[in-house]
Structure 1
Amino acid sequence: MSAFLQRLDLASHAAADAPTIAIKDSIDVARYPTTAASRALADAPPAPRHAQVVQRLLDAGWRITGKTNMHELAFGMTGINDFTGTPLNPQDHARIPGGSSSGSASAVGLRLVDAALGTDTGGSVRCPAACCGVIGLKPTFGRVSREGVAPHQTSLDCVGPFARDMNTVIDVMLAIDPSFHGGRARREVTGLRVALPDVEADGEIRHAVAAAVAHSELASRTVQLKYMRDAFTAGLAVINAETWRAFGHLVGSGMLGPDILARLNAAANTPASELDAAERIRRRFTDEVDRVLEDADILILPTMPSLPITIEAARTGTSVIAMSSLIRPFNLSGHPALTVPVPIEGASLKAGLQIVGRKGDDETVCAVAAHIEATLASNA
């Protein structure tokens, strides 16, 4: 299945050898409809103008080659889409590519483009990046413009890049975020302090992350995040309510996929008391992470607690909600978070190592990721 919904060539000002990038179909590209890979939006009118991030990429000389496939309405973790097709997982075609930015991760992993943009509301950049064995960054909430990005109102969603190497991730950030400082993102990180949250994950993934940290030779210590599980549950409540507000009007269209229809119908019943409780947890978890980051420069933990399941298992009802247990909390808190692939001993698939930083310090997250990338390459 193709990672692309539509091939484009927005290259009027790009050099012949310009780097290529693809854009998730929840982000406006002028003269093309933004359908969010949904039959219910297939007849949407063309976008009148580029999303701000798209215009900035063009201004920086990037060649935009296509709009990428995705989990319908950006409301799912598997990446399975029976209307537009399910993108291939480059690591293992039998496994789910992850969602919701499935096509963006797939296109990068299959080397169809140098980079791609996705959106991350509950892990929708980091989950498919980890599934597909590529790098994905969720910037600090509010740092990268969401003008021209669906849904229009959100307290969770962020636009972020995918790439196969950190140098390209940094190049994309320099294009889409005028405040991003390339020198800080490419600096040496010797002496930085790492906090390792004690979280539940499969042994092979825990070992892969621990080995990568050991190779990095960065000083580390284990910490507890008391509100991590509560933040996961709270993040589910908030995304349900906000997605219902954005797309609930499509429920009666008769054109939604059955999984999205079921999720939206359930989201319609999110009680106000649950949202109030979620906001209390948002404050507590945010404060907790901020306190840990007073005595550490970054957090490192697994991106996902286990490897991606097969498409067949997902179709036969295996739950995937726990896939986001370690990533969704940082949407709630708004901290920058990046996943980088790390090898698993004796396995062909790679695990995701997640790096979380202080709000507004996306550059340090990138610098640590680049350091880990380099140490892994030198030990390969």
Structure 2
Amino acid sequence: MSPDPAILVQTLDLGGDSHCAADGLRVAVKDCIAIAGTRTGCGSAAFDAAPVETAHAAVVEALLAAGCRIVGKANMHELAYGVTGANAHTGTPLNPLFPDRIVGGSSSGSAAAVAAGLVDFAIGTDTGGSIRMPAACCAVFGLKPGFGAVSREGAVPATSSLDCIGPFARNMAMIGTAMAAISPGFTVPCAAEDFVLGRVATSADAQIEAALDKVLQARSADVRRIELPLLGAAHRAGITIMAAEMAALFGHLVGTGKLGADIDARLAAGLKVDAAAVREAEAVRTHFTAEVDAALETCDALVLPTLPSVPLLLREAGDAQGALRLTELVRPFNLSGHPALSLPTRTASGLPAGVQLVGAMGAEAALCGIGMALEGALEGAQ
């Protein structure tokens, strides 16, 4: 497979000899995370004149301390504020396994680099599904740790109540290795044996629900039905809070001609979000977080699709409503802050789908153990 030049916006060879577990592993880092000696481009012309970074982000320091080789900066949807991966400024990566489908965003290059075999694992960010969505689109594994589990120091946006840094890989063992490198206190687990899953009711398409049920049946998993009545409200609240936070950081760029049309329009809309709307969204956050916590008292992890439908075709990437729908089942867990893992599977027709697991606060290792247990039941996974 020939490397797509739009996957990595810059190639590097950065690493050291630490005699640690991750020695020599090739890693790509999303281009909204600082690497000393390079410019953090964020997929945007607005950052073309940004100064070269003088220090590594905390996660980069952790990767280097673990002996990883950082081989490139991964492309992304502009300002990490889009879900398709389409980027007119830095190029749109092709989906390595499904070239007629979107690669997903905003961590598009990170997911594609893993799917194409360019790296052993990659680092992305997830504010509204931006690790789990491209992981599902590209048929790889992607973990959004719980909020605060991985330091965001040196990442853009500089402040966020939703954003998390996490890894992509082609198997769960590598997800565990990546987390051990970047998350203090994380211990790589063994595959879980006895566990109960709470199957969340969703409005996902029938073929997506069937793909998930096939995985659970193949594993003979102990599954209980779970209702999250605030799931839809949490999706809308997450949109509101992200819009307000992004507009506060980048609203000054609206109308400057330095942004893609989609991002310019999205930030302009965010400037209209008022304090009352944010207060209402924050109230939903409080209630939804409690709802998820209560559900997790009855099971070891929640399980639901990553995406409600198969990824959009490339020619549908401009469908704003279709793209927004793709975030329905991932964005709520940015709002609540719970760790969430996407496992790749396929529909009966061979199209990409994702199995999403959601764990308790601080339970990233246990969640990965359940992911390892389900790995062998995944249809068509790499």
Q: TM-score range by the shorter chain?
A: over 0.9
Q: In structure 2, how many angstroms separate the alpha carbons of the residues matched to 1:167 and 1:291?
A: 30
Q: In structure 1, how many angstroms separate the alpha carbons of the residues matched to 2:371 and 2:259?
A: 38
- The CA deviation at 1:349 is 2.4
Deviation string, structure 1 residues 71-94 (Cα, Å, up to 9, x no partner)? 000000110000100011122112
Q: In structure 1, how many angstroms separate the alpha carbons of the residues matched to 2:333 and 2:159?
A: 18
Q: Which residue of 1 aligns with 2:57?
A: 51
Contact 1:216 1:375 in 2 (8 A): yes
Label 1:334 to 1:14 Cα distance change in 2 as closer, same or farther (>3 A): same
Label 1:17 to 1:140 Cα distance change in 2 as closer, same or farther (>3 A): closer
Q: Which residue of 1 aligns with 2:375?
A: 373
Q: Is 1:67 the counterpart of 2:70 in the alignment?
A: no
Q: In structure 1, how many angstroms separate the alpha carbons of the residues matched to 2:93 and 2:302?
A: 31
Question: Aligned match of 2:112 in 83, 86, 106?
Answer: 106
Residues 148-163 of structure 1: pairs in structure 2 closer than 5 A: 148-163=154-169
- The CA deviation at 1:278 is 0.5
Q: Which residue of 1 aligns with 2:15?
A: 11
Q: Which residue of 1 aligns with 2:39?
A: 33
Question: Aligned match of 1:85 in 80, 87, 91?
Answer: 91
Q: Which residue of 1 aligns with 2:246?
A: 243
Q: In structure 1, how many angstroms separate the alpha carbons of the residues matched to 2:319 and 2:162?
A: 30
Q: Which residue of 2 aligns with 1:118?
A: 124
Q: In structure 1, how many angstroms separate the alpha carbons of the residues matched to 2:211 and 2:290?
A: 29
Q: In structure 2, how many angstroms separate the alpha carbons of the residues matched to 1:280 and 1:237?
A: 12
Contact 2:301 2:357 in 1 (8 A): yes
Q: In structure 2, how many angstroms separate the alpha carbons of the residues matched to 1:84 and 1:127?
A: 20
Q: In structure 2, how many angstroms separate the alpha carbons of the residues matched to 1:237 and 1:316?
A: 20
Q: Is 1:196 the counterpart of 2:202 in the alignment?
A: no
Label 1:56 to 1:17 Cα distance change in 2 as closer, same or farther (>3 A): closer
Structure 1 residues not aligned, in runs of 5+: none
Q: In structure 2, how many angstroms separate the alpha carbons of the residues matched to 1:378 and 1:290?
A: 32
Q: Which residue of 2 aligns with 1:139?
A: 145
Deviation string, structure 1 residues 358-378 (Cα, Å, up to 9, x no partner)? 000011110111111134489
Deviation string, structure 1 residues 96-124 (Cα, Å, up to 9, x no partner)? 11110000001100111111000000000
Q: Which runs of 4+ in 1 moved over 6 A?
A: 14-17, 377-380
Q: In structure 1, how many angstroms separate the alpha carbons of the residues matched to 2:151 and 2:380?
A: 36
SS at match of 1:221: strand
- The CA deviation at 1:214 is 1.4
SS at match of 2:96: coil
Question: Aligned match of 2:308 in 283, 305, 310?
Answer: 305
Contact 1:74 1:99 in 2 (8 A): yes
Q: Which residue of 2 aligns with 1:359?
A: 361
Deviation string, structure 1 residues 228-259 (Cα, Å, up to 9, x no partner)? 00000000000001111121122243211111
Q: In structure 2, how many angstroms separate the alpha carbons of the residues matched to 1:136 and 1:246?
A: 27
TM-score norm. by structure 2 comes to 0.95
Label 1:318 to 1:289 Cα distance change in 2 as closer, same or farther (>3 A): closer
Amino acid at match of 1:91: L
Contact 2:192 2:372 in 1 (8 A): no
SS at match of 1:128: helix
Count of residues paired in the alignment: 376
Label 1:379 to 1:73 Cα distance change in 2 as closer, same or farther (>3 A): closer
Q: In structure 1, how many angstroms separate the alpha carbons of the residues matched to 2:107 and 2:197?
A: 29
Contact 1:133 1:349 in 2 (8 A): no
- The CA deviation at 1:342 is 1.4
Q: Which residue of 2 aligns with 1:320?
A: 323
Residues 178-327 of structure 1: pairs in structure 2 closer than 5 A: 178-182=184-188, 185-186=189-190, 188-315=191-318, 319-327=322-330
Label 1:295 to 1:95 Cα distance change in 2 as closer, same or farther (>3 A): same
Q: In structure 2, how many angstroms separate the alpha carbons of the residues matched to 1:89 and 1:14?
A: 34
Q: In structure 2, how many angstroms separate the alpha carbons of the residues matched to 1:18 and 1:272?
A: 48
Q: In structure 2, how many angstroms separate the alpha carbons of the residues matched to 1:316 and 1:360?
A: 36
TM-score norm. by structure 1 comes to 0.95
Label 1:127 to 1:376 Cα distance change in 2 as closer, same or farther (>3 A): closer
Contact 1:208 1:344 in 2 (8 A): yes
Taking only the aligned residue pairs, the percentage that are identical comes to 45
Amino acid at match of 2:362: G
SS at match of 2:287: helix
